[in-house]
Amino acid sequence: MDEVRELGASAAGQIQCLTIVGQIEGHQLLPEDAKTTRYEHILPLIAAIEETPEIRGLLILLNTMGGDVEAGLAIAELIAGMRKPSVSLVLGGSHSIGVPLAVAARRSMIAPSAAMTIHPVRVNGVVIGVPQTFRYFSRIQERIVGFVTAHSHIRREDYLRLMNSTDELANDVGSVIHGEEAVRLGLIDQLGTLADALAYLHAEG
């Protein structure tokens, strides 16, 4: 089960840490051996952080492998709606739905060695032949694009170009961008380490 950890106290109060790792499990059940982050556990934790006076800031550590899009967007929307300072730190990789999660925080950071994978919404490579299903996935994709561009500085055309690139991934459509490129494109605010993330929260808290 996911949990929140107290990292320390600034002059104003505590800094809390929330880890979002592996695949995000929502309504679609994943195999028992898959390392998952269950969104029904995370949502009340975020609400509790927002309502606890002693907590002055939230550190979100991200190393995701995709997962349930609706669950990921629900977590991202909740983080984006917080009044308290929040900072996300991408470690290792942030795949698919991890991108909205990264930009949802008030300040986003990425480790120099980390990468982010951007690709269209799809279900295990299955070809979608029903028009209604295609429209449904198109609407989900538009929600993701809208959220990412609203909560970062990346241009819509750049994000769509990265998402639909056909020469970056061998067996898929999309792009892998590394730390410096993510910052240059405006997707992530800055390169950073744990010390940078904590310094930001202590200053803001």
Of residues 88, 108, 119, 152, which has the active-site annotation? 119
CA distance linking residue 176 with residue 163, whole number of Å: 9
Please indicate whether residue 119 is annotated as part of the active site: yes
- Of 124, 97, 100, 118, nearest to 175 (Cα)? 118
**CATH code, domain carrying 26:** 3.90.226.10
What does pLDDT average to over the chain?
Answer: 83
What total number of domains does the chain contain?
A: 1
Q: What confidence tens digit (pLDDT) does each residue in 62-88 have?
A: 998 877 888 889 999 999 999 999 999
pLDDT, tens only, 161-202: 998 888 776 567 789 999 999 999 999 999 999 999 999 999
Residue from 86, 88, 94, 96 carrying the catalytic annotation: 96
Residue 167 pLDDT: 78
Report yes or no: 204 and 57 within 8 Å, Cβ to Cβ. yes
- pLDDT per residue over 111-160, tens digit each? 999 999 998 876 544 445 555 555 666 788 889 999 999 999 999 999 99
State percent of the chain over pLDDT 70: 79
Q: Which of 43, 6, 5 is nearest to 24 (CA)?
A: 43
Domain extent at residue 144:
4-204
Among candidates 144, 74, 38, 31, which has minimal Cα distance to 19?
38
